[in-house]
Amino acid sequence: MDNVTIAKLQKTSVVIVNDIVKLFEIYNQFIRPQIKSSNTFIAYQNLTLAKPILFIKTSEVIQLVNNFEVFYLLKTVDLNQELCAEKVSIVKINEAQFEVKYAFYELIDLICRYQKYLDIRLIYIHLNRSLTADINQQLFSSKKFSIGTFCNLINIHEQTYYKRYKKDKNNVNY
């Protein structure tokens, strides 16, 4: 396991493994903007930076396998000096060792931890659209990603999911 600074990683060509790009998009669009305002965000960020980053290195690029926040920071132009100097641990894996579950369960953990700040219905819809039948088979031994499965993963009852949806729908200002 090697340590490298965020600043040094920013200077290299880092991309997301194609199979999980949509999971990173869900994080960037529907999760990070909401959790950034939470009072536990700094603790989350520190924990994330301490977690090893898995990557696949090819001749042209480094393909990130996990760690949504680090990728977000790598793509941030005006990152403060303190975060640029942060060291992260990196672990190289080969393509055969890659599994979607690394990124998927990281995302599920975030949703579970910050669900009170998130529109879980919107996140479910986008997750369901992004998970192919093959990925669902790998993760759940099923071709579908049901609301029940999603609720089970984020530790809520389906009734809670539907109540929150109904509550959010009633609070919409037209």
- 14-52: pLDDT as tens digits: 999 999 999 999 999 999 999 998 888 989 999 899 999
Give the pLDDT of residue 80: 86
Measured between alpha carbons, how far is 83 from 6 in angstroms, rounded to an integer? Answer: 7
What residues have CB less than 8 Å from 14, skipping those under 6 apart? 55, 61, 62, 63, 64, 71, 74
Per-residue pLDDT at 76: 86
Domain range annotation of the chain? 2-170
Q: Tell which wins on pLDDT, 60 or 132.
A: 132
pLDDT digits (tens, 9 = 90+) for 75-100: 888 888 888 999 999 999 999 999 99
pLDDT score for 173: 40
Entry pTM: 0.89
- Structure confidence at residue 78 (pLDDT): 82
Lowest average pLDDT, out of 32-36, 60-64, 138-142, goes to: 60-64
How many alpha carbons lie under 13 Å from residue 42 in its C-beta half-sphere?
2
Tell me the two tokens of residue 164: 């929150």
Question: Nearest-CA neighbor of 16 among 73, 89, 85, 67?
Answer: 67
Mean pLDDT estimate for the chain: 90
